[in-house]
Amino acid sequence: MTMNFDFYMNDMTNQARSEMEASGYKQLKTPEDVEEAFKQPGTTLVMVNSVCGCAGGIARPAAAHAVHYDKRPDHLVTVFAGQDKEATAQARMHFGVDHIPSSPSFALLKDGKLIGEVGRFEIEGHDPMSVVVNLQEQFEEHCEEL
């Protein structure tokens, strides 16, 4: 029995994308999508998605649950590292020269400028609720009640 790797990966990425869309995040698949999304006024939470286990078991569940909070970002978007490479690179350019690229990760922007982030080192090996709390603390500080 042989397994088609591309078929397997497409299944995984489709599931990962579906989870984010079901949680209210808009997919940014091109650099132009990123530029348009980052021009929006207000706060934007960017989830850098991935197919790794900590994305599926920690980051995506945290992304889904963190937004159930009185103060939350105006916009929810996601780029997919390793899949939508140009869009991910474009998003990371906005995160600044001190940003260490990692996936999965989160970046919180206000009017297109980075104001907070949660890197892979704060996701991998942690439970989803600790990531939720981290994100919601940033929402409390930087976001308005919706």
Reading the chain (146 residues) residue by residue, the pLDDT tens digits are 556 656 667 888 999 999 999 999 999 999 999 999 999 999 999 999 999 889 999 999 999 999 999 999 999 999 999 999 999 999 999 998 888 899 999 999 999 999 999 999 999 999 999 999 999 999 999 999 98
The active-site residue, picked from 28, 47, 52, 131, is 52
User: Any catalytic annotation for residue 54?
Assistant: yes
pLDDT of residue 100: 86
User: Any catalytic annotation for residue 143?
Assistant: no
pLDDT of residue 141: 97
DSSP codes of every residue in 30-92 = SHHHHHHHHTSSSEEEEEEE-SSHHIIIIIHHHHHHHTSSSB--SEEEEEETTTSHHHHHHHH
Q: What is the pTM of this model?
A: 0.93
| Rounded Cα–Cα distance for residues 36 and 82 (Å) | 21
Which residue from 71, 65, 78, 66 is spatially nearest to 37, judged by alpha carbons?
A: 78
The active-site residue, picked from 28, 46, 48, 54, is 54
Burial of 108 (0-12, 13-18, 19+ CB in 10 A): buried
CB distance 142 to 108 below 8 Å: yes
pLDDT of residue 7: 64
